[in-house]
Structure 1
Amino acid sequence: MPSGKIRWFDAKKGYGFIASDDGNDVYLPASALPAGVTTLRKGAKVEFSLVEGRRGPQAMGIELLAPAPSMVKASRPSADDMAAIVEDLIKLLDHAGNTLRRHRYPSAAESRKLAKVMRAVADNFDVEE
């Protein structure tokens, strides 16, 4: 059974391409995806049946072998660095909480800074599996 990696797949268009291990591009229609799978990420390793379509080789009966490696997971800070970042975030949130207890919202600059830091920390925790 041939194998390869997803070169790209667009669920809206309903097709994509596989870069097969033998170096050929193989057309991938959405109808070839396994039941319950609606999209595939670039780089996911797959096995597939090969049929000759009107415009060349076409994949059928896709089997997902391994998901694409997560770029977020590969580039996120170490656990020790994240611990320091989370502690700093806690200090910022504590300051904002104290300001709110005094019946005032933090200034616009402080609010933007807090929101930016919270989004960055959330992005480092949000790992696609």
Structure 2
Amino acid sequence: MKSKTLIPSISLFLFALLVAVPSLQAADLDQIRERMEERLPTIDSLKEQGLLGVTNDGLLSVRGSISTEEDKMVKAENKDRMTVYQEIAKQTGQPVDKVQKQRAAQLAKTSAPGVWLQDAKGKWYRKQ
């Protein structure tokens, strides 16, 4: 399953943040990483079913009918992602939207075939 390969990717991404973004406390980063890792199998499953997609700003978007609990999980994931993106932007002096677009490009490259992605112009497509 794709989630097994993404967990090290997320951990590596968040470790890089710890080094690059000293104002994000290690404890906060650990909590974010743990929450993201816990949610990853469900998120991957929903993406594989075509119910979630990755936006061109590195967030998740609901593309089908999901439960209230799953919707809460997506909102929590997007909140954690925004916390990370904002902190990177703060520390690097880049606009938040640039950080988001860079991460969206990384996510598009590593997404499994069939996952819904949004291009730079906002058009949705399924990865081949």
TM-score scaled by structure 2?
0.31
TM-score scaled to structure 1, two decimals?
0.31
Question: Larger relative CO (CA 8 A, sep 6+): 1 or 2?
Answer: 2
**Greater per-residue helix proportion:** 2
Larger strand proportion of the pair: 1
Larger Rg: 1
